[in-house]
Amino acid sequence: MTRAVWENLLDAARETHRAALPWFCTFPDDLRETTLTPHRIGAADLFEADIDLTNAHPLARQFCAASPYAQWRETYKGSAIGDDFLNRFGCFCLIGSGGAYLSDQMGAYVVYMPPDLPYPWHHHPAEEAYLILAGSAEFHREGHAPETLSAGEISHHTPGQPHATMTADSSLIAYVVWKGDQATKPIWTKEALR
């Protein structure tokens, strides 16, 4: 049963990726199944209860179906980010460390942000693309004017480029893809936590 959930999610990710992100990278052909231990955080409840958004896109629906079996991340636990962010920001991996599959070619995640949540300035050596599946958010990238993006739009972050995200009245669900260095976690940009 659980493996079928991950296979359905993988199929939806492959279809969405091939339609929207072939310019960023090809969908991996080196996938290896993993066994993962589910880990739940508070944001999982918020994500699953956000019915209008989780039903808005086929890939968002499949991420929601996989949520109870996912290893939700606590990437910033122990940092100075604060409890509001830790309790409301959600992310889990489909392809990559802590995900149902591994690949040397790319990582793939879902990111969930409820309304009125800032994701402070940060950077990482991986190149990244955020494909908005549902909702909207304001995206900031060093060297660019802020952009409010909604379903079907993409924010592209080059390796090491500082970036930040802020939701307003709407939640955000995004399919996030990393390529390059997938092992190095995000690092707060110096000004992020002032």
Q: pLDDT tens for residues 78-113?
A: 888 889 999 999 999 999 999 999 999 999 999 999
* Cβ contact 167:150 at 8 Å: no
Q: What is the homologous superfamily of the domain 2-193 according to CATH?
A: Jelly Rolls (2.60.120.10)
The pair of three-digit structure tokens given for residue 90, joined into one six-digit string? 């959600």
In angstroms, the CA 51 to CA 32 distance is: 31
The pair of three-digit structure tokens given for residue 21, joined into one six-digit string? 């992100």
In angstroms, the CA 114 to CA 47 distance is: 8
Whether the pTM exceeds 0.85: the reply is yes
Q: How confident is the model at residue 194 (pLDDT cuts 50, 70, 90)?
A: very low
* Cβ contact 24:16 at 8 Å: no
In angstroms, the CA 98 to CA 127 distance is: 19
The pair of three-digit structure tokens given for residue 1, joined into one six-digit string? 């049963």
Average pLDDT over residues 107-126: 96
1 by Cβ neighbours in 10 Å (0-12 / 13-18 / 19+) ranks as exposed
> Cβ neighbours of residue 125 under 8 Å, at least 6 residues apart?
159, 160, 180, 181, 184
Give the lowest-confidence range in 71-80, 99-108, 116-125, 144-153: 71-80
For residue 173, pLDDT over 90 is answered with yes
